[in-house]
Amino acid sequence: MTADRKDLGLIIERLRLGAGFSASEHDWVAERLTALGSRLRSFSEGQVDLEISVKDRRGAGQQLTLECRLHRFPGLHLVAGSSAPDLPVALNEVHTDMIRQMDHAKTRTEPRHNRALRQERDREA
């Protein structure tokens, strides 16, 4: 199974559709969010909740929101939004912003840990 297939499967398992989407659109939306899969692979099944919703769909004030709750980090709740009138464009914007936020959250927690490990290693040498 290729990485893209694994990532798509991961998104399909963890994505919940909120207001503004029908159940028949689940796979279509998941395909557009596949790039998030590589960021989510390090989390076990119960550690990630994804929910996407859209308000005023096809209207002038359409607002797409993607929420990600990461239970590995205490209370980390990431939210990405887009007001692009075209739904595929909005999906691209929220997945790009969510990737940026996940990368930022990871670097916020990891460098201190890595720095401490490097300092311990340097003291032992």
Q: What is the pLDDT of residue 1?
A: 47
What residue has token string 């969510």?
98
Of 33, 37, 39, nearest to 91 by C-alpha is: 33
Taking CA atoms, 77 is separated from 9, 19, 68, 95, 101, in Å, by 22, 19, 6, 15, 10
Euclidean distance between CA atoms 92 and 32, whole angstroms: 7
> 66: buried, middle or exposed (CB in 10 Å: 19+, 13-18, 0-12)?
buried
Q: What is the pLDDT of residue 71?
A: 79
Contact at 8 Å (CB) between 49 and 14?
Answer: yes
| pLDDT by position in tens, the chain (length 125) | 466 788 888 898 899 999 999 999 999 999 999 989 888 887 777 788 899 999 988 778 899 999 998 876 666 889 999 999 899 999 999 999 999 998 887 776 554 555 555 455 455 54
